[in-house]
Structure 1
Amino acid sequence: MTDSDTRDIERGNRETTLAVIGLGYIGLPTAAMFASSGVRVHGVDINPATVDLINQGKPHIEEGDLDALVARVVGSGALSAHLEPVPADAYIIAVPTPVSHDSIRKPDLSYVMAAGRAIAPHLRKGNLVILESTSPVGTTDELCRVMAELRPDLIFPGEGHEVDIHIAYCPERIIPGKMLRELVENDRIIGGMTPRCSELAAALYGRFVKGECLQTDNRTAEMVKLTENAYRDVNIAFANELSMICDHLGINAWDVITFSNRHPRVSILNPGPGVGGHCIAVDPWFIVASSPEQAKLIHQARLVNDSKPEHVIAQVEEALARSPDAKVACLGLSYKPDVDDFRESPALEIALRLTRRLPGRVLCADPYEHALGNAGHGDVSLAMVPAEEAVAQADIVLILVGHEKFRSVSIPAGRRVIDTVGFLRAPLSAEQVPHRSR
């Protein structure tokens, strides 16, 4: 790929080839959108089952119109899946960046660096490499160093004024359930290691992104992504902490939040059983790890949200103290309503802990249970039954996720209901008097 070829990426004058490394919740929708825009996409994933399924035109995740899109672009030959990287004009890395589950909560960048090592042999002059995985500040620099060590025949950013390999960081900004629309409409932060890197990455995303492609440097872009999710985490922590305070004082937290939000400058979020997903539950730890002395509020917010499952379990324990032999129904296990994503799900954590605590007495229901294997827990030993059956057999009904499919479930009279997400609660108007409902 020559300098004139990089200009072709900007202008869209030739069939650009793109390799997307990682075909998970972010990589597959991204690969499909690029393929639909005229880019020839080679998706890469280490899971043979995932590769086989995609090559049949079938996505391995549920996401709106993704089924039809993948079928179309695979059928047209614009998208194919592989177990190993292939030569391409541009590469996007969209692999996991988890944190350890010990007290240190250290970021694990091994998947990112492994992806860099895998594509390094295929790099040629003029290539563009974009990291999308949410990462601590400095990860793009480290990725560049790893690839440069493997390819001393090429000039990487920082090694000279004119570079052979262009590298940028461009974090994803999409949520399950709205991925395809947000991929197109949301603004993108393009953080190049040089201004030219930013220009080329912005041009590539411009093939289908209608939002603005805002250009900056890679370290700023890395911090922007972490900041967005840490901001949300802090606000959720306020709501979760408030709910625990209200429980302690015997006040209905939903009433407090509803009336407080009638103030023109107050907008408190809804509490829940904790925080899950691949972003908000993980990304703030990257900031804490890099600046532990400065990130006091962000750290405390993480501790509050991580403690909420314990508070929910204590509520169940309180109910069990009155009915020691009671059965418990756990409604909802995914990390948010109406998605098949169980990563870092506090609801799933609560269900697993209760199952271990009460063997044979916990029934679980989730309309997306078929995707439980993607949660990273391996084989999940839970008693999964339809929601109607769970509430019919249980004495305690624990609502953990407000799936719309639960709206039709009738909870029999006499059941002790613990609603962690306000699912059964009708919104109050300002004219209504707050009441205590326990």
Structure 2
Amino acid sequence: MGPESELKVAVVGLGYIGLPTAAVIARTGAMVLGVDVREDVVATVNSGRVHIEEIDLDGLVSGVVARGTLRASTQIEPADVFVIAVPTPFCENHAPDIGYVLKATTTVATVLKPGDTVILESTSPVGTTEKLAEFLSQLRPDLKIPGHCDGTPDVAVAYCPERVLPGRIVVELIDNDRCIGGITARCSRKALQFYRRFVRGACVTTTARAAEMTKLVENAFRDVNIAFANELSVIAGGMGIDVWEVIRLANRHPRVNILSPGPGVGGHCIAVDPWFIVHGDPENARLIRTAREVNDGKTDYTIARAEELIAQIPGAPVACLGLAFKANIDDFRESPALKVAEHLAERHGSRIRVVEPHAGALPPSLAQHGATLIDIDTAIETCPVFIVLVDHEVFKSIPLGERANKLVYDTRGIWPDQPRPDAPSAGLRLAV
């Protein structure tokens, strides 16, 4: 690869992972090209700005663009290392769709040369990296692709999934351990050499299939634990018990750590990746499938409870607090909060007022039904009904005096002091 200052890296996909990854690599002095199909994204990055909200990302991108180590384009160029960070959604039947990965592979293949390294970072079903290598061998029969040639390959192919938390992506890209799986051991070592340039955490090598499964398992583990909390909230509500108090007390046990329930599970990772495991072995992935069904079902449960609350004041404005899939970010992918708000807007139209401090405008799915975007002060002044869907910090700061006379359904448990009946029900907290 040569000295860091001479290293050329192409990052394909400038989304929530690709752009921070490109910027972090560029900060090391490598010459990084970010490739994206959206011309507006390319223009934004080249101006030193960002199109996503992430702590410290704007300053980092501005700095590396100004220094000339990061630029963006809709066209691929030759490089030493290619990092693929494109979406991997699922189809209607929850079957994984690796079409974006294969399209990115086609793009990379046009400029690939002997000595290059291709690394897939997109969360993918087991076997995707092998399919990528096979596809490369078909696209570029002139190159020796690992697993599809005799002797030493010309190109290294590996898989290294991100494992970052939105809101801490820039820090965790550097500090978190990385699991690097190559098609061959030589591929793993070559990818390891690349990641050691900018990762302070431990870099552990394994096989591509093991690395792919590791990423899926990490997210499925969290999904199963959240499903336990969500199922517990429904059971506790039916028994007239405050689930938040139960969780706080149970977690005082030294070996118990129950996660927080909510209106479901969102994001492109936890809400999607477990289905890749289920699709890979549907007969045996029973617990993982059930957890997904529980968490998806919690959104329907939340909608039903919200409707009960709204019906208590016919015609009154309703404030839905939050649309993002988690606190303090602007990412709405697979967001249960958005799904709840969409249902309520479709049913109640202009009665629905949305408070989302991380959005400049409402998604079309809400605006088309007459919902409006308002700030928190307006909500306090005009809305007697609050549906808390996201635990943004700004919502936690609303004092009791400004919400004591509201009908509140707190799906996140952010207001433990909210007045409520003697027999609360799964977060339903009403004014006395």
Q: SS of the counterpart of 1:370? A: coil
Opposite residue 245 of structure 1, the aligned amino acid is I
Opposite residue 99 of structure 1, the aligned amino acid is F
Task: Look up the match of 1:218.
Answer: 208
Task: Look up the match of 2:94.
Answer: 105
Q: Distance in 2 between matches of 1:54 and 1:393?
A: 39
Task: Look up the match of 1:66.
Answer: 57
- Counterparts of 1:89-104 in structure 2, within 5 Å, are 89-100=80-91, 102=92, 104=93
Q: SS of the counterpart of 2:283? A: coil
CA apart distance, 1:89: 0.5
The 3 A distance-change label for structure 1 pair 391 and 378 is: closer
Opposite residue 424 of structure 1, the aligned amino acid is W
**Is the CA contact 1:388–1:409 (under 8 Å) kept in the aligned structure 2?**
no
- Counterparts of 1:281-320 in structure 2, within 5 Å, are 281-320=271-310
Deviations 1:327-373 (A, max 9, x none): 32100111111111111110011001100011111110011112766
Task: Look up the match of 2:106.
Answer: 117
The 3 A distance-change label for structure 1 pair 392 and 172 is: same
Deviations 1:85-104 (A, max 9, x none): 1100110000001112x3x1
Is 1:151 the counterpart of 2:140? The answer is yes
Q: Distance in 1 between matches of 2:173 and 2:53?
A: 16
Opposite residue 216 of structure 2, the aligned amino acid is L
Once the two structures are overlaid, the 10-residue window that deviates more, 309-318 or 124-133, is: 309-318
The 3 A distance-change label for structure 1 pair 230 and 177 is: same
Q: Distance in 1 between matches of 2:210 and 2:268?
A: 21
Residue of 72, 78, 84 corresponding to 1:81 = 72
CA apart distance, 1:262: 1.2
- Counterparts of 1:28-67 in structure 2, within 5 Å, are 28-67=19-58
Opposite residue 353 of structure 2, the aligned amino acid is L
Q: Distance in 2 between matches of 1:346 and 1:195?
A: 41
Q: Distance in 1 between matches of 2:417 and 2:260?
A: 13
Q: Distance in 2 between matches of 1:426 and 1:226?
A: 38
Q: SS of the counterpart of 1:322? A: coil
The 3 A distance-change label for structure 1 pair 229 and 24 is: same
CA apart distance, 1:324: 3.1
CA apart distance, 1:215: 0.1
TM-score normalised over the length of structure 1: 0.92
CA apart distance, 1:407: 3.4
CA apart distance, 1:408: 3.9
Once the two structures are overlaid, the 10-residue window that deviates more, 144-153 or 163-172, is: 144-153
Q: SS of the counterpart of 1:112? A: helix
Opposite residue 228 of structure 2, the aligned amino acid is F
Task: Look up the match of 2:189.
Answer: 199
**Is the CA contact 2:361–2:373 (under 8 Å) kept in the aligned structure 1?**
no
**Is the CA contact 2:362–2:373 (under 8 Å) kept in the aligned structure 1?**
no
Is 1:347 the counterpart of 2:368? The answer is no
CA apart distance, 1:322: 3.0
Q: Distance in 1 between matches of 2:413 and 2:277?
A: 31
* Number of positions where the alignment pairs a residue of Structure 1 with one of Structure 2: 418
Q: SS of the counterpart of 1:280? A: coil
**Is the CA contact 1:340–1:371 (under 8 Å) kept in the aligned structure 2?**
no
Give the CA RMSD over aligned residues.
1.8
Residue of 114, 121, 132 corresponding to 1:132 = 121
Q: Distance in 2 between matches of 1:183 and 1:413?
A: 42
**Is the CA contact 1:364–1:387 (under 8 Å) kept in the aligned structure 2?**
no
Opposite residue 425 of structure 1, the aligned amino acid is P
CA apart distance, 1:394: 2.0
Percentage of identical aligned residues: 50
Unpaired segments ≥5 residues, structure 2: none
Residue of 160, 167, 172 corresponding to 1:170 = 160
Unpaired segments ≥5 residues, structure 1: 1-5, 428-434
Deviations 1:116-147 (A, max 9, x none): 00110100001100000000001111111112
Q: SS of the counterpart of 2:238? A: helix
Is 1:336 the counterpart of 2:326? The answer is yes
**Is the CA contact 1:21–1:95 (under 8 Å) kept in the aligned structure 2?**
yes
CA apart distance, 1:167: 0.2
Q: SS of the counterpart of 1:41? A: strand
Q: SS of the counterpart of 1:418? A: strand
**Is the CA contact 2:341–2:366 (under 8 Å) kept in the aligned structure 1?**
no
